Amino acid sequence: MVEALTCLGFTVNTDKQTAQITVKGESGRIPNHSGDLFVGNAGTVARFLTAALCLHRGGKYRLDGTEAMRERPMQGLIDSLKQLGARFTFEKKDGHFPFAIETQGIKEGTWVVDATASSQILSAMLMVAPLAEATVEVVLQNKTVSKPFVEMTLNMCDHFSGGNAAFTIKGDNYKTISNKGYSSSSDNYQVEPDATAASYFLALPIATGGNCSLKGFKKDSIQGDVGFIEVLKETGIHADFTSEGAYTEARSELEGKHFDFNDISDTFLTLAALAPLLEGNTTISGIAHTRKQETDRVSAMANEMRKLGQEVLEDDDSITITPSLENLRRKALEGVCIDTYHDHRVAMSFGILGSADVRGNGQPWLTVRDPMCCAKTFPNFFEELERIRLVSLAPQ
């Protein structure tokens, strides 16, 4: 995203030492009228950036991504932006990257949005709506997935609307209150700790026993994935929030159940990878849309679970894992190599499972291919996992 904004003429400074990014705002104006932009395999960048480009009247931009990004759904967003007068030219497959977009500004009126494939499509349209020429009503066609992320978007829009509501909301219709654009109420905006990344460490006691504390993680987080803690409680993990953050602790008997992950689908892989360590079947539903993310995540998890000697049933919207600890131990003695499908969440989820002492002698048994695909969201994940291991071994 930083590279794309810089290409578009925005002044962006990053300081890795302090983990700060400074962006010079342009009041909804895009400095450069053209650009060749690469979004990698980041669906968030792809959707938010494509919608934002439409702010420029008379712009022409080319966008592309990785081979995996070229397969990810964009049609719902493209159809919405065509309503604003945007014109698309597809180089390979209609509705997919790579494409060129000619932009005509943000027009007022009623925008019909189909976000069944990704909540990011709706979020992208909501973020640009307050910058339209006049009042906009965003009408959601059908339902969207991962709705808590839409709530997060609305909270952000409100925050940068001077603390006032940016929209009136009636059901799935969102109407802009004013079209004064956005302004920063202060020089600094504190980004919350990543609730999805937190899921791996919150679930770590399932694999290792003991307990884990995460500082700065709050119950009133605006992120929907904080709901993963409730899933952990259902398995039998003791989980709570303290004044410092979140806390999880393993109990003797942990069990699998049926869970609907539609609202928190990014975290379903965390639980699925640990299902062999739970008593009874684990069924995870509401995840059909994850088949069109970085990879087909349902099939990816099914494939790798079978490598571990687990019985797996999958359909379009769910996966059921029947655990066999005996088979897991047998496979662990042979050594298991996990494919990640270039998906950061597959890599990190199986990193947590691999922390379990399945062999009973403290020796490693699980290899993760292409572990640095996790650099997309958590570059030092495995270093952090190793740091925690060493801390746990240190004398108290």
Q: What ranges do the domains of the chain cover?
A: 2-176, 195-393
**What six digits make up the tokens of 347?**
């890599």
Q: What share of the chain is helix, strand, coil (3-state, %, to 5)?
A: 40, 25, 40
**Are the C-beta atoms of 5 and 16 separated by less than 8 Å?**
no
Look up the CATH number of domain 2-176. Answer: 3.65.10.10
Q: Which residues of 77-110 are buried (b: 16+ CB within 10 A; e: fewer)?
A: bbbbbeebebebeeeeeeebbbbbbbbebbeeee
pLDDT, position 246: 95
pLDDT along the chain (396 residues), means of 10: 96 93 93 96 95 96 95 94 96 96 94 94 96 92 88 91 88 87 82 93 96 90 92 96 93 92 96 98 97 95 98 97 97 96 97 96 96 94 94 75
- Whole-prediction pTM value? 0.84
Compute the Cα dihedral for 331, 335, 341, 342 and give only its sign. Answer: positive
**How far is it, in rounded angstroms, from Cα 39 to Cα 389?**
35
**Are the C-beta atoms of 113 and 71 separated by less than 8 Å?**
no
CA distances (Å), origin 334, targets 187, 209, 287, 338: 55, 24, 32, 13
- Same fold? 2-176, 195-393: yes
The two most distant CA atoms of the chain are separated, in Å, by: 67
Q: Which residues are known catalytic residues? A: 266
Cβ neighbours of residue 380 under 8 Å, at least 6 residues apart? none
Question: Other C-beta atoms within 10 Å of 300: how many?
Answer: 24
**Are the C-beta atoms of 123 and 130 separated by less than 8 Å?**
no
Of the CATH numbers 3.65.10.10, 3.40.50.2300, 3.40.50.11540, 1.20.1050.10, which one belongs to the domain with range 195-393? 3.65.10.10
